[in-house]
Amino acid sequence: MAKKPLSVEFDDAALQALDEHAREEDESREDAAARLLEEGLRMAKHPGVFFRTEPAGRRPVLMGGPDVWMVARLFRDLPLDSDEAIEHAADHATELLSSVPRHMMLAAIHYYIEYHDEIDEWMRILDEESERAQAEWLRKRELQRA
């Protein structure tokens, strides 16, 4: 996506906090500001979703619950093309993972509908890493048996 410059004025405290955050995240001031704006807009549109930095990267998380990708596995293959289908998917996913309240499951579904490409890509990468780790474990196990 093409980027366009935007001139924004910050007070000293906000600019200092932005610079500190950028250093902590190992980002430029501009990249941190752009990311925080994008994440803030997503959180405003999808209440109940926030973002967390983990060793594997930054990703959306349900407040008080798991990462969005974790619950998306429960409904990603279901039709999500109508309000009725979304309600059914929320019921289905909540039955499978009762620790996540239904309203949070709905938040995850709506977030997934809008950002399914990036969530699906995240799951694909994690699946590949899991398969590699399992293959390595099996290989070492066979070597130990020999």
* Rounded to 5°, angle at Cα 37 from 12 and 52: 100
**Each residue of 38-85: pLDDT tens digit?**
999 999 999 999 999 888 788 999 999 999 999 999 999 999 999 999
Q: Where are the domains of the chain?
A: 11-45, 48-145
DSSP-derived secondary structure letter, 67: B
pLDDT at 117: 96
Per-residue pLDDT at 1 exceeds 80: no
Q: Determine phi and psi for 15, rounding to 5 degrees.
A: -65, -40
Per-residue pLDDT at 146 exceeds 90: no
Q: Determine phi and psi for 52, rounding to 5 degrees.
A: -135, 140
**Each residue of 103-136: pLDDT tens digit?**
999 999 999 999 999 999 999 999 999 999 999 9
pTM: predicted TM-score of the whole model, two decimal places? 0.85
